[in-house]
Amino acid sequence: MKRIALTFDDGPNTSITPQVLDILGEHGIAASFFLIADSITPESAQVAKRAFSMGCEINNHSTTHEHMSRMIPDQVRREVENCTQKIIELTGRAPRFFRPPYIDINRDMFEEIGLTFICGSGCQDWVPDISAEERIERVLANARDGEIVLLHDMPGNVNTVEALKTIIPELKKRGYRFLTCGQMFDECEIEPRHGWMYSNVFQTEPRTGL
């Protein structure tokens, strides 16, 4: 059976994130959420806790969601460590994975950040004009064993909520099981490599995706 990981960036919030969780719950699957620490409020924290209690994985998407390739090393560390701390407060567990905002990276960031870098195959779902149908088509076209799918649960992203209602049952029909990023690496027995950024756990190049 093939394996796929749905991942969501830019939460948590009280509008779109709960709708994504409702759909995941209906289908009895878990996903991975990459949180922006500055988006964690008392209200959205409850949503993130709900995700964690459903078996979803909570990961790091920085504190301020700014471009990080031009930051000095101290700033890079603060961006990531603060977010990690917030996640530990929410879940009691440190995140294993980091997605750089805008996938904007440089070599130094791999030295400063002790988490596995995740990219994922995107469907440009951060562009409001990309319809739900186009998102569905792109995700299904990119689907393969070990793939990490990059989506966004950012406020207003109703087209992705809509697309999920087709994407999940269609992938199930095609024989996919849904794993978190951690489950994907563990189950496939892939040891993440330093300096690599993953879009598929079986990739043979240091960087792929987008």
- In whole angstroms, the minimum distance from the beta carbon of 210 to Zn ion comes to 12
Take residue 202 and report the two structure tokens written for it: 């079986």
Q: Which is nearer to Zn ion, 95 or 101 (CB)?
A: 101
CB 191 within 8 A of CB 103: no
- Determine if 153 is a binding residue for Zn ion (CB under 5 A): no
Q: Which is nearer to Zn ion, 10 or 57 (CB)?
A: 10
- Determine if 10 is a binding residue for Zn ion (CB under 5 A): yes
Q: Which of 9, 10, 125, 153 is catalytic?
A: 9
Active-site residue flag, 9: yes
Q: Which is nearer to Zn ion, 9 or 57 (CB)?
A: 9
Q: What percentage of the chain's residues is helix, strand, coil (to nearest 5)? A: 40, 20, 40
Choose the stretch contacting Zn ion; rule: CB under 5 A; options: 8-16, 70-78, 115-123, 135-143: 8-16
How big is the CA angle at 42 (ends 37 and 45), to the nearest 5 degrees?
Answer: 55
Q: Which is nearer to Zn ion, 176 or 197 (CB)?
A: 197
DSSP summary character for residue 90: H
Q: Which of 10, 61, 152, 153 is catalytic?
A: 152
Contact positions with Zn ion (CB under 5 A) in 79-108: 101
- Determine if 125 is a binding residue for Zn ion (CB under 5 A): no
Contacts 24+ apart (CB under 8 A), 69-74: 69/104, 69/105, 69/106, 69/109, 73/108, 73/111, 73/112
Distance CA 139, CA 137 (A): 6
CB 192 within 8 A of CB 49: no
Among 4, 8, 9, 119, binds Zn ion (CB under 5 A): 9
Choose the stretch contacting Zn ion; rule: CB under 5 A; options: 1-9, 37-45, 68-76, 116-124: 1-9
Distance CA 29, CA 17 (A): 15
- In whole angstroms, the minimum distance from the beta carbon of 80 to Zn ion comes to 14
- The catalytic site residues sit at 9, 152
Chain residues in the site for Zn ion (CB under 5 A): 9-10, 101
